[in-house]
Chains A and B, each alone.
Chain A
Amino acid sequence: MAAVRTSSEIGFNRIAIVAVLVVTIIFLAPIYWIASTAFKPRNLATTIPPTVVFQPEISPFVKLFAKRSQMRNPASPEEYAAAPWWERVVFDGGEKIVRDGKGQVQWSGYPSRFLNSLIVAITSTVLAVGMGTFTAYGFSRFKVKGEADLLFFILSTRMLPPVVVAIPMFLMYRAVGLNDTHVGLIILYTAFNLSFSVWLMKGFMDEIPKEYEEAALVDGYTRMEAFFRIVLPEAATGIAATAVFCFITAWNEYAFALIMTSRRAQTAPPFIPSQVGSGLPDWSVIAAGTFLFLLPVAIFTFLLRNHLLRGMSFGAIRK
């Protein structure tokens, strides 16, 4: 191809490279904007024209984690002077606490929602990938009657719209007291991710040559030993990739969390948008919450980059 390349082709190539750069900038602009807003003081978050150059601050993050509440005994200027710096940030630079003479700093709702998200996403990922790995091995190595139908059944449970499943689940959970509990949400996310994990892991299992275990069986291993000592280490990359995908799905999930949780077990996705609800939203604080929430996913996307195609197509396309 290089030998027959004409000058117009080279010219087109240059145009294409410029176009790719422009497209990348347009695609990343929204993400950049939310990240930069997270470091703006409140009065610069919603200016016209938009503020692009500014002195970054961490005050939105402090406000994200703390909230002020009324206190009966007024705080004296001395008490303000003795207060730690993060409390002063929450009180708008300290002016108000002195003038109003009251207030107290507490944790906001954000850290507990973030923690809930971590608990639910990690636990359900471990369960879904654990069960999925065994099941995928079963489908990959043994003859299963009606295998295609069973696999279709497993996949179809993933394709159900969340609201459709949520209606009966809500009623059942209400009957057994699982609404607004971590366990309830973990079960739902495990069920949701299990089908994905079976499909993806089956692809990885199919790629491990059968001869490895057969050699081990000849050497006197039992099937179980061969599975744990030969197959699992070979499948490690696949298991890790599947786990990251399951984690991201559970981490991002919104509809189930909105319906099934309200406070105690509420995760970050339904919580973050609910902050916009009342009055004039403080966009820099919302952006800070969004930024922290999206950061793990962005990091995982880079770690996963070679497996994205496979994961996003349910293991249908391998490369």
Chain B
Amino acid sequence: MATTMITTLDRSSRAAARGLSDISIRNLFIIPTVLFLIVFNIFPLIYSLGYSFTDFRASTNASANFVGLQNYRDLLNDPYVWSNFAITAKYVIISVAGQLLVGFGVAMLLNRDIPLKGLLTTLLLLPMMLSMAVVGLFWKLLYDPSFGIINYALGLGTFEWLSDPKMALYAVALTDIWMWSPFVMLLSLAGLSAVPKHLYEAAAIDRAGPFYTFFRITLPLVAPILMIAVIFRTMEAFKTFDLAYILTTQPTAELISIRLYKMAFQEWQTGRSCALAYIVLIMVLAITNIYVKYLNKVKER
């Protein structure tokens, strides 16, 4: 009753009449943002879709020639590009798996009464807030084969982390794990603290072992939130550019965004790079779609 009354008042009262109507306020608040995003995010993409069908090179004055699907055909037949995708896939799997293990593991350790727990948690979260480019830079100092503290601390002598073709991708992934495990930890802690205590009490009364408790109570209840962390990190790892670009120049660690950057801004194959950008874009949108669907599902619970 009360609500209906207020709504009527809202529409017909003198105050509402002298101000803007709700509909015009709604439009005033929403439309500029949507327009801004269309102009600065969607319009450029339409622009580059056009270029992806041409042989345009931004480094020359030659006008663009329409080549149809040639760029897409070439890219999909290019073993080099496929290897970039394979490297990216490997990188995503290693770094997300590592973050999941470390992040969830540390969250399990932290999920108890610990003196200064809040301070420790905040300190542990610090790496993920830092600039990836600058993190890449100072990990270069840590990885240095002759004076890096990592080799010194682990007694590895002059082990080459970044200039060994076999090791470079793992080194980048290790830095990424250091940086982003805190993210998984943060989400896991939220999930763990939401598990009702009485379930553990019931399990203890039933004399359930720690493994049974973990696999039958903890894990299933934390799984949805872990899934959010995994999808989100997968998407971000797939897009990784800064970290790998700064840490190493090894072709074995050339992720797809680095390939794209080189194609566009070093080789100046603008048309072809637009086509590659579209292939990457479709993949990212697919992962984003899964992510948002999952978020909405978790929110509903």
B26 contacts across to A, CB distance below 8 A: 138, 141-142, 144
Complex interface bits, A126-164 against B, C-beta within 8 A gives 1, otherwise 0: 000001101101110110100010101111110111111
Partner of A305, one of B14, B113, B118: B118
Q: Is the interface of B mostly helix, strand, loop or mixed?
A: helix
B235 to chain A, nearest CB (A): 6
Which residues of A have CB within 8 Å of B280?
Answer: 161, 164
Chain B neighbourhood of A194, CB < 8 A: 33, 36-37
A163 and B225 CA atoms in complex are apart in Å by 29
* Complex CA distance for A16 and B51, rounded to whole angstroms: 57
A175 vs B153: C-alpha distance in the bound complex, in angstroms? 52
Cα distance, A222 to B21, chains bound together (Å): 9
Inter-chain contact total with CB atoms closer than 8 Å: 296
Q: How far is the CA of A270 from the CA of B261 in the complex (A)?
A: 15
Known: A171-B270, A254-B132, A313-B232. A163 touches B299 (CB 8 A): no
Q: Are the CB atoms of B270 and A160 closer together than 8 Å?
A: no
Q: Which of A80-88, A92-100, A101-109, A285-293 contacts B (4 or more CB under 8 A)?
A: A285-293
With A132-B33, A300-B129 in contact, is A171–B58 under 8 Å at CB? Answer: yes
A-side residues, CB < 8 A to B, are 1, 4, 13, 16-17, 19-21, 23-24, 27-31, 33-34, 37, 46-50, 131-132, 134-135, 137-139, 141-142, 144, 148, 150, 152-157, 159-172, 174, 187-188, 190-191, 194-195, 198, 214, 217-218, 220-225, 227, 248, 251-255, 259, 269-270, 272-273, 276, 283, 286-287, 290, 293-294, 297-298, 300-302, 305, 308-309, 312-314, 316-317, 319
Please determine whether A191 and B40 come into contact, CB atoms closer than 8 angstroms. Answer: yes
Question: Which of B77-85, B160-168, B197-205 contacts the other chain?
Answer: B197-205
Q: Which of B137, B147, B246 has the most CB of A within 10 A?
A: B137
Q: Is the CB of B288 within 8 A of A302?
A: no
Instruction: Collect the chain A residues with CB atoms within 8 Å of residue B156's CB.
Output: none
Q: Mark B129-153, 1 if CB is under 8 A from A, else 0.
A: 1111110111111101011010010
In the complex, the answer to whether B32 meets A217 with C-beta atoms within 8 Å is no
Task: Kindly list chain B residues whose C-beta atoms are within 8 Å of the C-beta of A138.
Answer: 25-26, 29-30
- The residues of B with any CB-CB pair to A shorter than 8 Å are 6, 9-10, 13-16, 18-20, 22-23, 25-26, 28-30, 32-34, 36-37, 40-42, 44-45, 47-48, 51, 58, 106, 109-110, 112-115, 118, 120-134, 136-142, 144, 146-147, 149, 152, 178, 182-183, 186-187, 190, 193, 197, 200-201, 204-205, 225, 228, 232, 235, 238-239, 241-242, 246, 257, 260-261, 264-265, 270, 273-274, 277, 280-281, 284-285, 287-289, 292, 295-296, 298-299
Q: A161-B239, A174-B58, A309-B190 are in contact. List 8 more A-B contacts (CB 8 A).
A: A24-B124, A33-B149, A159-B288, A191-B37, A194-B36, A273-B133, A273-B137, A305-B125
Task: Select which of A135, A165, A290 is within 8 A of B137 by beta carbon.
Answer: A290
Name the one of A13, A269, A283 contacting B131, with C-beta atoms under 8 angstroms.
A269
Q: Is the CB–CB distance between A164 and B281 below 8 Å?
A: yes
CA–CA, A37 and B138, complex, Å: 10
